[in-house]
Amino acid sequence: MVSQQIQEKYAELALRTGVNLQKGQALMINSSLEGADFTKIVAKKAYELGAKDVHINWGDDDLTLWKYQYAPDEVLEDFPEWRVKLHDMYAEDGAAVLSIRSTNPDLLKDIDPTKVAKANKAAALAMTNFRKYTMNDKITWSIISIPTGDWAQKIFPDKSREDAIASLWEAIIKIVRVDQENPIKAWDEHNETLKAAREVLNEKNYKKLVFKAPGTDLEMELPEGHIWKGGSAVSEKGITFNPNMPTEEVFSMPHKYGVNGTVSSTKPLNYGGSLIDNFSLTFKDGKVVDFKAEQGEDTLKHLLETDEGASRLGEIALVPHESPVSQSGLLFYNTLFDENASCHVALGKAYPTNVEGGSAMNDEELDKAGVNDSLTHVDFMFGSEKLDIDGVKADGTTEAVFRNGTWALDMTSK
């Protein structure tokens, strides 16, 4: 088990560098009963840092599974209004939101994917207003993870439960830089590196990116006025925060009508408690026109059918293959980690902040600007040491952006 002192360091990092909790601010935490010890460390630290109120939404994998097994469909498809209200009230009050994720990736593998898809859609629809607060950076929010037994044993199947949890703690602590003397300073430096990288790409202002790897041959138009982001973000109130810990990506958005060709996954995708693996998608004018998956094809089909925008892309993220997450050599079956080991795209909603003036645009303006909208936003990984990316400028000149899975551009100078 990881020491109390390390857990306190991690909690402080999540509160300061993650959500950047301010004095007098409320904090809402989403966490699991299995992670109660760590969650209470976070809550106490939050009060010590001046939080006026800490509210925790407790979840539990067993309870979730039993609900799917025993509750009638109409209960699963009816997302309770009080839950929506709770989130909206904290958001309106300007609370920070910290999610501590640790779900078993196989939790719902034996549940009918149609049932899961319906419940997910109902929840997404109900939370539309709250999602605007996070996806437009109106409030500060952050996602971190801690190990739980089932998840840890999925990653380390040959180890005892206890050893698997210890090994996963060790991996996470290293990846989120909590093993370093001063993790907050380490993150400041890391954020500077990501800032330099996004500035290089913003300066380049590519019109199109071309991706080539085994099973992947994809042309992706980038919208006019697209913005590359990465590392820390700034909230509406001017508070710097880190939405994801870890994060190794710089990301922007594809034009919702400008994606053509085929992309093949390089890591399994854990979606709603089931795995989708070895899959490929073919796009025409931004829309998926063909797909196949060796595992979880039904789940993928339901994901694509969530709504019109679920079969279009809302994010392109570039991650060099030598990121600390890749270097761990582990497959996490958890997007927060796996997406930071690999270039990825997201099916579904784009972050409006990835285009100039996007946060202030109405639905029609967003569509015209090429910004995809959907109830869903699901990242999947297609990067590998074999991925090459070319950048095409407005005048047609082409240059190497990635070769063999890593930067071919000088990412340190502008």
When the beta carbons of 150 and 315 are compared against Zn ion, the nearer one is: 315
- For residue 262, give the 3-state DSSP assignment: strand
- What letter would DSSP give residue 244? B
Phi, psi of 365 (to 5 degrees): -65, -40
When the beta carbons of 194 and 317 are compared against Zn ion, the nearer one is: 317
- Which token pair is 380? 């999947």
Element (H, E) at 366: helix 363-369
- Which token pair is 174? 């290293």
The minimum distance between CB 135 and Zn ion, in angstroms, equals: 10
- For residue 390, give the 3-state DSSP assignment: strand
The minimum distance between CB 348 and Zn ion, in angstroms, equals: 9
When the beta carbons of 94 and 286 are compared against Zn ion, the nearer one is: 286
* Alpha-carbon span 340 to 118, nearest angstrom: 29
When the beta carbons of 124 and 317 are compared against Zn ion, the nearer one is: 317
* Alpha-carbon span 86 to 273, nearest angstrom: 25
- Which token pair is 305? 């059918």
When the beta carbons of 230 and 258 are compared against Zn ion, the nearer one is: 230
Q: What part of residues 369-388 is at the interface with Zn ion (CB under 5 A)?
A: 379
The minimum distance between CB 346 and Zn ion, in angstroms, equals: 4
CA 174 to chain centre: 19
When the beta carbons of 120 and 153 are compared against Zn ion, the nearer one is: 120
Residues in CB range of 335: below 8 A, 6 or more apart? 269, 270, 378, 379
When the beta carbons of 138 and 159 are compared against Zn ion, the nearer one is: 138
- For residue 258, give the 3-state DSSP assignment: coil
Instruction: Report which of 227, 237, 226 is spatially closest to residue 91, judged by C-alpha positions.
Output: 237
The minimum distance between CB 315 and Zn ion, in angstroms, equals: 5
When the beta carbons of 183 and 246 are compared against Zn ion, the nearer one is: 246
Residues in CB range of 9: below 8 A, 6 or more apart? 178, 183
**How many chain residues are in contact with Zn ion, going by CB under 5 A?**
4
Annotate each residue in 38-77 with x if it binds Zn ion (CB under 5 A) or - if it does not, as one string. Answer: ----------------------------------------
Residue type, 276: I
Phi, psi of 398 (to 5 degrees): -120, 140
When the beta carbons of 34 and 315 are compared against Zn ion, the nearer one is: 315
* Alpha-carbon span 81 to 85, nearest angstrom: 6
In this structure, the number of other CB atoms found within 10 A of the CB of residue 238 comes to 6
The minimum distance between CB 377 and Zn ion, in angstroms, equals: 6
The minimum distance between CB 382 and Zn ion, in angstroms, equals: 12
The minimum distance between CB 247 and Zn ion, in angstroms, equals: 8
When the beta carbons of 38 and 130 are compared against Zn ion, the nearer one is: 130
The minimum distance between CB 379 and Zn ion, in angstroms, equals: 4
Decide if residue 137 touches Zn ion (CB under 5 A).
no
The minimum distance between CB 336 and Zn ion, in angstroms, equals: 9
Q: What part of residues 266-305 is at the interface with Zn ion (CB under 5 A)?
A: none
Residues in CB range of 375: below 8 A, 6 or more apart? 121, 124, 125, 128, 306, 307, 309, 310, 348, 349
Residue appearing with tokens 């950047």: 20
In this structure, the number of other CB atoms found within 10 A of the CB of residue 396 comes to 8
In this structure, the number of other CB atoms found within 10 A of the CB of residue 190 comes to 20
The minimum distance between CB 167 and Zn ion, in angstroms, equals: 25
Q: What part of residues 303-362 is at the interface with Zn ion (CB under 5 A)?
A: 315, 317, 346
Cα–Cα distances in angstroms (integers) from residue 222 to residues 116, 160, 228, in the given order: 33, 47, 10
| Chain contacts with Zn ion (rule: CB under 5 A) | 315, 317, 346, 379
